[in-house]
Amino acid sequence: MSNPSLLILPGDGIGPEVMTEVRKIIDWYGTKRDLAFDVSEDLVGGAAYDKHGTPLHDDTMAKAQEVDAVLLGAVGGPKYDVLDFSVKPERGLLRLRKEMDLYANLRPAQCFDALADFSSLKKNVVAGLDIMIIRELTSGVYFGEPRGIIKEGNERVGINTQRYTESEIERVARSGFEMARKRGNKLCSMEKANVMESGVLWREVVQRIGDTEYPDVELSHMYADAGAMQLTRWPKQFDVIVTDNLFGDLLSDLAAMLTGSLGMLPSASLGAPMANGRPKALYEPVHGSAPDIAGQGKANPIACILSFAMALRYSFDQGDEATRLEQAVEKVLADGYRTADLLGEEGRSPVSTSEMGDAVVAALDASLS
């Protein structure tokens, strides 16, 4: 039987640095757990534009459609700000999501005990936080037509269209309900049904799916602005949240900062099952390319490492090994290892990107004894 296949797209900025640490983890699994992967690597974002004049070459897109999972670092940087919108680095990522039809974006927000003091909220509010936000990723206002900047009379007008079909809402709702069943059996759906027709349809469809297919799951509805307020008031009231593309973008970033650092948070973008039964999938850290620290060994690789842990769980049916890796990260943090973004006011010296990766490998080794 062939090894599962993984396409690595390091991207720009700190992407290649954090991905180097993930490669150490992948190698460890091949050597120590007899869990080998067929790994290939290619370009995306600014790196792809520099070589091909496009943020995602057609050949790379074809590879992404064929492999079991894609692991991406980060894209973008100020040197590309002058490019036309159609070839900006971020368009490469959007093309991957759209053409792979990765409609469910899973963004966990978990606060490790060792980092509870790093949140902007009180420790008792965030300690033990473990929620999952599922964001619809391939429709909504980011993709709706008409869109653009047009001239009306003597001024320009920017237009974006919020658009959802019932089937688009149904499939991401089911992703939310299925995730809730695996966790606390509680799902909160967020929209703006009080002022948006798309929100009215969203609420009606989610309620229907809940009533007919998931009566065992406790379903609630909340306006997205109220949801943002409640996330900062008492986030542990939530378990799984499902929401649309725009609100999911905003709410998941808000939830990310509850944990203390964007450098800690992974994500998974999942689509329909392939012939082998696994969903099409792309995994990436939540953080950006951080060009201001690129090449300096300051980047935190944990979000990218935890993104690979999500790949182990959702694409490769290796839930126990995913837990092993997550526990190794937790041990490293409990032992006091900190990259620069996690130092706070503790006065200690930070470890480098590679030292943090080495520490996780050492913790994995310790897990075997």
Catalytic residues: 142, 192, 225, 249, 253
For residues 114 and 332, give the distance between their C-alpha atoms in angstroms, rounded to a whole number: 10
Q: Is 154 exposed, middle or buried (0-12, 13-18, 19+ CB in 10 A)?
A: exposed
**Both tokens assigned to 266:** 């992974």
| Secondary structure string (H, E, C) spanning the chain | CCCCEEEEEEECCCHHHHHHHHHHHHHHHHHHCCCCCEEEECCCCHHHHHHHCCCCCHHHHHHHHHCCEEEEEECCCHHHCCCCHHHCHHHHHHHHHHHCCCCEEEEEEECCHHHHHHCCCCHHHHCCCEEEEEEECCCHHHCEEEEEEEEECCEEEEEEECCCCHHHHHHHHHHHHHHHHHCCCEEEEEECCCCCHHHHHHHHHHHHHHHHHCCCCEEEEEEHHHHHHHHHHCHHHCCEEEECHHHHHHHHHHHHHHCCCHHHCEEEEEEEECCCCCEEEEEEECCCCCCCCCCCCCCCCHHHHHHHHHHHHHCCCCHHHHHHHHHHHHHHHHCCCCCHHHCCCCCCCCCCHHHHHHHHHHHHHHHCC
